[in-house]
Amino acid sequence: MINRSIVRVLVTSAVLAAGLALAGCNTDEISLANNAKANQPVPARLIAEMQEKDMDLQSPMLVRLFKQEAELEVWKQTRSGQFALLKTYPICRWSGDLGPKVKEGDRQAPEGFYAISPAQMNPRSAYYLSFNTGFPNAFDKSLGRTGSELMVHGDCSSRGCYAMTDEQIAEIYSLGRESFFGGQRSFQFAAFPFKMTPVNMARHRNNPNMPFWKMIKQGYDHFEVTKQEPKVEFCEQKYVFDPAAPAGSTKPLVFNAAAKCPAYSVPSEIADAVAAKQQQDEARTNELIAKGTPVAMRRPDIDGGMNKIFASKLPDGSTGLSDSEAPGLQSVAMARAPGTIPPHVNPPKPNLAPSSASLFAAPDEPTVAASPETRVASVSSEGGFFSSLAKKVGIGNSAETTAVTSAPAPVAAKPKVAKPGRPAEPARPMVAGTPRQVPTPADSKVATAAPRPPLKPTVAADQPISSGGGSLAGAAAVVPANSFDSRFSATR
């Protein structure tokens, strides 16, 4: 009898131990799913768009970001195996200047190629939701660059981060979550100073960061010609894209960011296509320079940028270093903002440089759910920029006040918005279950600003789509779950 009891205890202990071991293997999945904000479904309209573009809900994704344009792109792999653009999100706020992050406290948002794993997703962020960019990567470390907790997050407030609205980050987070559930081990996050076009390369030709930008442009070009995620390695303090072992070699390639590069080759079909593109780009860049394309004015007095769709909604709003060629905010003043703009948002200083770039509009985005404290653009008889614009185009008078969003009547006196001075995002690794939240300075700041609902209406308004049902009907996996293991090996 005693022996049976002992056996029963041992068996029970073994079962519990096995259960814990299994839970440990799925820690990322559990922590991704056991949070209300982080478990919001991908909006039905986005699911429908994926179907139209021959994408699966849980197919691999890739993210590209551009400071000057203040845009974040989400790409998804189609059933053909190539990536296609799913959606472009306007960035609400980024800080610093064009150029890479160099040291802790310089307010720079990172530039370069990074890998985002499930462990870098933060479902309990002080800024609604977030993911860590992974800065510094092996290349950054080889140059002695420092910085930590550089995020893409909500709350539209940045100090070295890329800030979206809460609604936007909820959607981006849900797309990443589904790709992880589909087997993707990490998704690539590539941050650029601007779209690497001949026009931009000509305009910024005298910028001291140009050697670095030409280096990461190689990765940009690899993706442009193949529409495949470029494999990224580091050696000799530089980036290497799509390296492969030389013909006849039997040894695996070993890369070290601070050491000499091993003998490698780039597949000829990729190398030839990239070389042709670069030759064409350089010829066009030289042509633009010869024609007298003006050099972009450096503005170290301006801290970061903001997409014009958001700047048009704020008193004295400015795009700062973003969209430096844009003629103004008039064309987007009546467009909807993609999400809630918190009252504490501090836009960049006005950029007085001449401008002529094309404007960005988002007519299909949801209406901003403004809080009572949020100022919105309007046309009234009290004067100001929008009033003058209305008179020029013949839009009514004080009796015809036009607001971009539903909000209380505009306040006559414009209160000055103080900078929140938020501390950097605290490190919060994803773990199983829901541990008790420990108060942090960042959390206390958020608590004293303006309370936000846990789930945003622009996300919840869509019909729920189950996040655990696998790929869309009829979908077939294009990339095996373990095909991403070899990527970013130098960063692990």
Q: d(Cα 488, Cα 492) in Å, to the nearest integer? A: 7
- Nearest Cα neighbor of 152 from 230, 96, 94, 229 is 94
DSSP result, 449-484? S----SS-HHHHTSPP--TTS-SPTT---SS-GGGG
> Which residue type, as a one-letter code, is found at position 157?
S
The length of the chain in residues reads: 492
103 DSSP assignment: S
Is residue 261 annotated as a catalytic residue, yes or no? no
| C-alpha 88: how far from chain center | 10
Please give the structure tokens belonging to residue 51. 């179907």
The pair of structure tokens assigned to 492 is: 């692990």
Q: What CA–CA distance (Å, rounded) separates 114 from 108? A: 16
CA distances from 80 to 32, 112, 295, 414, 478 (A): 28, 27, 41, 53, 7
Neighbouring residues of 405: CB distance < 8 A, sequence distance ≥ 6: 313, 336, 337, 367, 368, 369, 370, 376
Q: State the DSSP code for 265.
A: B
Q: Are 285 and 202 in contact (CB under 8 A)?
A: yes
Q: What's the CA gap between 314 and 278, in Å, rounded?
A: 40
Please check whether residue 140 is in contact with residue 257, taking contact to mean a CB–CB distance below 8 angstroms.
no
Considering 92, 153, 156, 204, which one is annotated as catalytic? Answer: 153
Q: Which residues, 6+ apart, have CB-to-CB distance to 150 below 8 Å? A: 101, 109, 110, 132, 133, 135, 160, 161
Q: Specify whether 235 is catalytic.
A: no
d(CA 55, CA 84): 9
In the structure encoding, which two tokens stand for residue 202, read together?
């000509």
Angle, vertex CA 124, rays to CA 118 and CA 129, nearest 5: 75
The position carrying tokens 């849900």 is: 174
- Reply yes or no: is the peptide bond before residue 246 cis, omega within 30 of 0: no
In the β-sheet with 93-94, what is the strand arrangement from edge to edge? 93-94, 162-163, 151-153, 130-132, 121-122
Catalytic residue of the set 92, 156, 161, 235: 161
322 DSSP assignment? S
Q: Are 231 and 243 in contact (CB under 8 A)?
A: yes
> Which residues are catalytically annotated?
153, 161
